[in-house]
């Protein structure tokens, strides 16, 4: 039997009782494809631009990170949907005056 645990709160998730939610996050390098404009009338300039785009694409593929997968209980799923990037949570952090 596979045992699932909520990746946010650590609560055990029983496979046949509790609803469990799966969050998958995919991170990858984004790059804009260059479109020729009027300044690139010269074919050599267009070829140079395409060569640079190929190099950038190859670098982007090297930086690709495998997707993350998280199991969440219903309560953490609700919290996650309200603040998926944890922006509100970062504002709640309070440091002592030490």
Mean pLDDT by 10 residues, the chain (98 residues): 88 79 89 61 70 59 78 93 84 63
Q: What is the pLDDT of residue 87?
A: 85
Give the domain range for residue 13. Answer: 1-28+68-92
For residues 41 and 59, membership in a common domain is answered with yes
Q: What is the pLDDT of residue 71?
A: 94
Residue recorded with tokens 């990170």: 65
For residues 7 and 22, membership in a common domain is answered with yes
Q: What is the pLDDT of residue 3?
A: 85
Query: Whole-model pTM?
Result: 0.56
Hey, what are 43's tokens?
Answer: 């074919």
For residues 3 and 23, membership in a common domain is answered with yes
Q: What is the pLDDT of residue 98?
A: 63
Q: How far is CA 38 from CA 18, 34, 47, 51, 94, in A?
A: 60, 13, 15, 19, 54
* Residue 97 counted as domain residue: no
Q: How many domains does the chain have?
A: 2
* Residue 98 counted as domain residue: no
Greatest alpha-carbon pair distance for the chain in Å reads 66
Q: What is the pLDDT of residue 64?
A: 66
For residues 36 and 59, membership in a common domain is answered with yes
């Amino acid at each position: 039997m596979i045992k699932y645990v909520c990746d946010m709160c650590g609560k055990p998730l029983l496979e046949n009782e509790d609803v469990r939610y799966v969050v998958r996050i995919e991170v990858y390098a984004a790059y804009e494809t260059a479109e020729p404009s009027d300044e690139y009338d010269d074919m050599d300039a267009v070829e140079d631009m395409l060569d640079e785009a190929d190099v950038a694409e190859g670098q982007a593929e090297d930086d690709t990170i495998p997707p993350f997968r998280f199991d969440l209980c219903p309560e953490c799923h609700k919290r996650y949907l309200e603040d998926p990037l944890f922006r509100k949570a970062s504002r709640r952090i309070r440091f002592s005056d030490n």
